[in-house]
Amino acid sequence: MTRMVLSRALFAAGLAAGLTMAAGTAVATGSTGAYIGGGLGQMGGGGAFDDDAEHWKLIGGYNIDWLPFLDLGAELAYVNGGKIDGRVGDQAATLAVESFQAMAVAGLSFGPLGLYAKTGMADWDAEQRGHGVNRDYSGTDPVYGLGVRAGLFGLSGRLEYEYLDTDGIDALDMVTAGVVYTF
Query: Rg (Cα) of the chain, in Å, rounded?
Result: 22
Please report, for the chain, the start and end positions of each structural domain, with discontinuous segments joined by +: 2-182
Report d(CA 175, CA 23) in Å as an integer: 30
Q: How far is CA 152 from the centre of its chain?
A: 17
Report d(CA 160, CA 41) in Å as an integer: 9
Output the average pLDDT for the chain.
83
Spatial neighbors of 17 by CB under 8 A, at least 6 apart, are none
Q: What is the mean pLDDT of residues 33-45?
A: 94
Class of domain 2-182: mainly beta
> Whole-model pTM?
0.79
Output the pLDDT for position 79. Answer: 97
Q: For 120-176, what is each residue's pLDDT tens digit?
A: 999 999 998 988 888 899 999 999 999 999 988 889 999 999 999 887 788 899 999
Q: For 46-76, what is each residue's pLDDT tens digit?
A: 777 888 999 999 999 999 877 778 989 999 9
